[in-house]
């Protein structure tokens, strides 16, 4: 019998971490049917000579809960080899939601995850209230990649408590409502339960998001629901895990360990590889020794925000710039390009005391010109603003303004977060067997972060340019490792009988492209689009969704429901 698709002459890197080998891959329906030398012809064939063929990549940390309603492609993840994504992280989901209280859900999302409320209002078909109804709605959408979904704590609280969710701890009746809805969500296929207890997550009116008002007893009771059903993963962390006081950290780590060990529920949390964060890596092994299962989510580069004249700049903090930034971009370019009219703005930017200003949420941050890089290439190295300023003999602020004008406002700049990466800690985390390279945040921070490209950054920078990992090691990090961590059956391995989610790329050229700004959100909102280079094809459920960098229009993606034992 002829296969529906044969990928011929490629080098198979199967996701196991074992050595690569040359083989053909035959696909019948939505499954891998044969791997080896295939003599028969396929109904469709891809010549992968000079390319590697791997399982589709899995991203365990996205926020595509809303985007899935208006974007059938799964952008930007789809451009970087991701064929399966887990959404509903950090306690932020669209459901459960009462039809007359949708604004409470939006309040949790719009600032903490920088998701345009106009896009949420215009782009979502609010045909659901309960979380099982939300899953059914997603199931019925056209999708270019697969999705699994957590149920979020903030949405669960506002559904059960209304406005009180932002002000009070839950009482017994509130908790019973939440526990019942959580159980219903898990039985309907939710992959887990997520929360946020970090001080960085605030609402649009400056209050903590709803999940931050929960007691640890409430969190423990809800995780206990998963333990009772024998299903699900808990995503989140006790806020004290990263506290500067070691005694507070110890108490937090202990109660996380005790909760996982007593319920049998695996727990996953973000590990930002900063100086001093090594104790969290040690914690992974310590917790395992005490009967808990902890999975750290790591990133393969420093978390950064992208700046531009068309979005935000450090100068937005300055009162002297307020009138200019309120004008249309083309008018700003005219003023800043005029030798006389630009003078007060350059002077303000050059002489500002940036230490007097702070930014929160999606607002601008004070600049470190030695750290802000000019986004010229998809992979490092990229020069700093200070480097270019020294070459031009001007102040870095003026160099940044000049680059904005010279590119018609399109130049992007990479501003590191307030928590700079420590490369030693980062590599240690990436190599740890209880850590998974994920955490793209795709679907959130659409106008300021483009981290869907962490998978191609891993392949291009850490494998090809730095040689820190073999190709086989890196592919396992983005395929089998996350598939096992999140319990995605059929994913992560290129073997007969597994799901036919595949990517074909050139290991010598694969990498992220430089992002661009596009205005294609519902209601005309703006987002960063970041594509990739080096991909020949992406296959989802046996269908080619991306062919030589272009969408085919196929939407074979599915909702991945977890089965309750």
What is the tens place of the pLDDT at every residue in 150-172? 999 999 999 999 999 999 999 99
pLDDT at residue 107, rounded to an integer: 78
pLDDT at residue 303, rounded to an integer: 84
Sign of torsion over alpha carbons 192, 303, 445, 143 = negative
Helices (H) and strands (E) in the chain, counts: 17, 24
pTM for this entry? 0.96
Residues 6 or more apart in contact with residue 323 via CB below 8 angstroms = none
- pLDDT band per the 50, 70, 90 thresholds, residue 112: low
Q: Which residues of 500-513 are buried (b: 16+ CB within 10 A; e: fewer)?
A: bbbbbbebeebbbb
Does position 113 have pLDDT exceeding 90, yes or no?
no
Domains of the chain as residue ranges with CATH: 57-303+419-528 (3.20.20.140), 305-416 (no CATH)
pLDDT at residue 361, rounded to an integer: 52
What is the separation of C-alpha 89 from the centre of its chain, rounded to a whole number of angstroms? Answer: 9
Cβ-based neighbour number of residue 8 at 10 Å: 18
Give the tens place of pLDDT for each residue, 316-336: 999 999 999 999 999 999 999
- pLDDT band per the 50, 70, 90 thresholds, residue 292: very high
Does position 359 have pLDDT exceeding 90, yes or no?
no
**Is 77:168 a contact under the CB 8 Å cutoff?**
no
pLDDT at residue 378, rounded to an integer: 98
pLDDT at residue 418, rounded to an integer: 61
pLDDT at residue 104, rounded to an integer: 84
Pairwise CA distance, residues 14 & 479, whole Å: 9
Pairwise CA distance, residues 502 & 54, whole Å: 6
Does position 94 have pLDDT exceeding 60, yes or no?
yes
Nearest to 143 by CA among 429, 559, 560, 555: 555
Compute the mean pLDDT over every residue in the chain, rounded to the nearest whole number: 94
pLDDT at residue 419, rounded to an integer: 67
Structure tokens at 121: 């209002």
Q: In this predicted model, which residue has the larger pLDDT, 243 or 297?
A: 297
Does position 564 have pLDDT exceeding 60, yes or no?
yes
pLDDT at residue 103, rounded to an integer: 85
Q: Which residues of 420-434 are buried (b: 16+ CB within 10 A; e: fewer)?
A: ebbeebbbbbbebeb
pLDDT at residue 565, rounded to an integer: 84
SS percent in the chain: helix, strand, coil, step 5: 35, 20, 45
Structure tokens at 547: 């062919």
């Amino acid at each position: 019998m002829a296969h529906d698709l044969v990928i011929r002459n490629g080098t198979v890197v199967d996701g196991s971490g074992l050595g690569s080998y040359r083989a053909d891959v035959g696909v019948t329906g939505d499954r891998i049917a044969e791997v080896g030398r295939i003599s028969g012809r396929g109904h469709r064939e891809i010549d992968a000579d000079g390319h590697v063929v791997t399982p589709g990549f899995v991203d365990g940390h996205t926020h595509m809960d809303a985007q899935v309603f208006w974007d059938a492609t799964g952008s930007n993840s789809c451009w970087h080899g991701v064929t399966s994504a887990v959404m509903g992280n950090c306690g932020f989901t669209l459901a459960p939601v009462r039809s007359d209280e949708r604004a409470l859900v939006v309040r949790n999302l719009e600032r903490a995850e920088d998701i345009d409320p106009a896009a949420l209002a215009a782009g979502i078909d609010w045909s659901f209230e309960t979380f099982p109804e939300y899953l059914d709605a997603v199931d019925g959408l056209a999708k270019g990649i697969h999705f699994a979904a957590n149920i979020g704590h903030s949405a669960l609280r506002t559904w059960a408590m209304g406005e009180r969710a932002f002000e009070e701890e839950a009482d017994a009746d509130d908790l019973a409502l939440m526990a019942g809805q959580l159980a219903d969500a898990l039985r309907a296929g939710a992959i887990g339960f997520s929360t946020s207890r970090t001080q960085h997550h605030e609402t649009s009116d400056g209050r903590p998001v709803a999940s931050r008002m929960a007691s640890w007893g409430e969190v423990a009771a809800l995780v206990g629901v998963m333990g009772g059903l024998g299903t699900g993963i808990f995503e989140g962390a006790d806020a004290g895990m990263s506290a500067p006081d070691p005694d507070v950290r110890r108490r937090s780590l202990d109660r996380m360990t005790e909760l996982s060990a007593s319920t049998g529920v695996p727990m996953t949390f973000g590990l930002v590889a900063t100086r001093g964060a090594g104790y969290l890596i040690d914690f992974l092994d310590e917790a395992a020794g005490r009967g808990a299962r902890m999975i750290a989510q790591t990133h393969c580069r420093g978390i950064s925000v992208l700046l531009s004249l068309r979005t935000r700049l450090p100068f937005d903090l300055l009162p002297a710039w307020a009138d200019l930034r309120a004008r249309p971009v083309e008018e700003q370019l005219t003023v800043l390009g005029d030798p006389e009219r630009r003078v007060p703005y350059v002077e303000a930017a050059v002489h500002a005391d940036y230490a007097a200003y702070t930014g929160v949420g999606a607002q601008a941050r004070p600049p470190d010109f030695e750290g802000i890089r000019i986004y010229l290439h998809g992979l490092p190295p990229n020069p700093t603003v200070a480097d270019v300023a020294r070459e031009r003999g001007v102040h870095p602020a003026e160099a940044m303004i000049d680059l904005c004008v010279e590119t018609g406002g399109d130049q992007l700049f990479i501003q590191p977060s307030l928590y700079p990466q420590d490369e030693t800690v980062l590599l240690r985390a990436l190599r740890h067997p209880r850590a998974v390279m994920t955490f793209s945040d795709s679907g959130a921070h659409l106008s300021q972060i483009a981290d869907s490209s962490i998978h191609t950054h891993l392949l291009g920078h850490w494998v090809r340019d730095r040689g820190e990992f073999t190709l086989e090691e890196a592919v396992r990090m983005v395929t089998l490792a996350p598939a096992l961590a999140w319990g995605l059956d059929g994913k992560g391995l290129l073997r007969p009988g597994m799901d036919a989610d595949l990517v074909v790329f050139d290991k010598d050229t694969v990498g992220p492209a430089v992002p661009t700004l596009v205005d294609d959100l519902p209601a005309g909102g703006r987002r960063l689009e970041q594509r990739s280079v080096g991909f020949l094809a992406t296959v989802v459920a046996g269908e080619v969704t991306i062919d030589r960098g272009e969408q085919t229009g196929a939407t074979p993606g599915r909702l991945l429901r977890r089965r309750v034992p």
